[in-house]
Structure 1
Amino acid sequence: MQLDRGLREHVQVDGFSWWRALTAPYDVFHVHWPEILLQGRTPARALARRALFSLLLTRLRLRSTAVVRTLHNLRSHEMQSPRDRRLMELFDRRTTVWIRLNSFTPVPAGALERTIAHGDYRDWFAQYPSPPTVPGRVLYFGLIRPYKGIDTLISAFSTETDAAASAATLRIVGAPQTPQLAHNLESLAAADSRITFSFGYASDAALSREIGEAELVVLPYQEMHNSGAAILALSLCRPVLVPQNSVTDALASEAGGDWVSTYPGALSAQNLKNAVAAARRRHDTERPDLSARAWPAGLAAHLEAYECAVRAARSR
């Protein structure tokens, strides 16, 4: 939303619809998760989506339209059939410029690429008041999917039973991918009354309140390469605990201080305990260094990427 709003001050931005994609005039087709375009709630709808996607590929080729793709993950977390993978391979070949959010993301050999850091959320959430922190509150927020590792978080939290942990609470906020996944998590947490859930879409106001009340935000993904949730938590001056890898080590160095704690391997109760202690050591007057994620620079970089993509597409 912030990218959309910022770009509209400089270029015409049209939201996606199949009608626009197949018939409207545009210079750049910018997509973040193209695999979503292939998904359908029923086999018939999925088949129709594949047909529309094939038409889109033809349209992009015939009109030499520039295609810009932002890479969020190392691989798609959605199940894909062989036919879907083939369509995605064809789309990759049509991509003119690849935008990656960090320097660790691989791109196809010889491809045009730009590295543009994920922007912060400070201005977007500035309208909401910051609530008092709830001592001992640990929070997970975001989409609830199997690869997010929320079951591991519940198990690690429930394992810690010392005096400090008895006053702690775990809050899980977000929309489950399936009702069965929500049921499984509730069953796993049933014996621990300190764990509560808020399933479903959270408004910006509700999300601001939930994050503001947390002492620590935990994002225990099985695979973490980029995380808008981590940037949002840091934007609201809440420390985060994330898996350790090259990307999160770089984020810890960027944010500074004790704002980003990392853990190797699987999340444990001791990891949680250490991260809460680190969060309490920070000073209230400090805030994470997110200066490299200011939106004016990010918007300028996107506009330059579009210009580059148009030139390259027209020269083919």
Structure 2
Amino acid sequence: MEKRVWLITGCSSGFGRELVKIVSGKGDIAVGTVRSEEQIKELEAIDTTLVKGVVLDVQKQETIDQVAKFIEKEFGRLDVLVNNAGYGTLGPIEETDEDEMQRQFDVNVFGCVRMMKLALPFMRKQRSGNILNITSIAGLNGFPGVGIYNGSKFALEGIGEALAAETKHIGIKVTNIEPGPFRTDWAGRSATYNESSISEYNESANKNMDSIREVSGNQIGDPVRAANAMYEVTTLENPPVHLPLGGPAHKRIGIRLQEFKEEVEKFKHVGKPTDYTEEELSRMG
């Protein structure tokens, strides 16, 4: 069977690094992106034959174009894109400045879309392919202190769902991967903390940010098992559009769905009767 070609962003550590190990270990080609030339040698040491490192900044279209040219020249195909590059900005919405909000969305949303636009021409030509968007449980449920990050992941969730509907009939499969807490650098050096100076947020945003910091390095989620799950989903004939990872993510989604249903039902008497009546529609022609 022909080796599949993977493009995995954000391979300096965490999910990306573990996925490169698993993909190459399975005999596929892993093109992993890093932020500097110095990191390429370290990445390629995982497997000098099957792992290729490339420098990429998802905020810079010129680097994305260079990666596209590299893949075309070296392989002429692309079978799996993993949109893993991203980070979290934490802090109350009121106190997150404009530049940081722009950067959060540019990396977590627009950067991922840029990568999809790189992958789709290859996959349309092949009439096959998988796109995995690493979103988060925070893309399905808002939490205090992570509102701007929530917004970026909610956006990527919606884009992923829409793309899945747009491309299913041509053989391109899109899955939003929704991790809960995993033992990566997400809450540590990879995060940006915007400390609150407003006391009213002590019991909401600040409290949750403190909890996130405290658990960093001790999360229940195993990045290796997560990467194995990501690999497995690309082998399925009909993969899901949503794949929560870990017990906490599954538990939180179950609670969220129940709360959402109950809230909609409770206020149905306010929101539902806002259509024109049949009599009004008949008069309007």
TM-score range, shorter chain: 0.3 to 0.5
| TM-score, length basis structure 2 | 0.36
- Higher normalized helix content (fraction of residues): 2
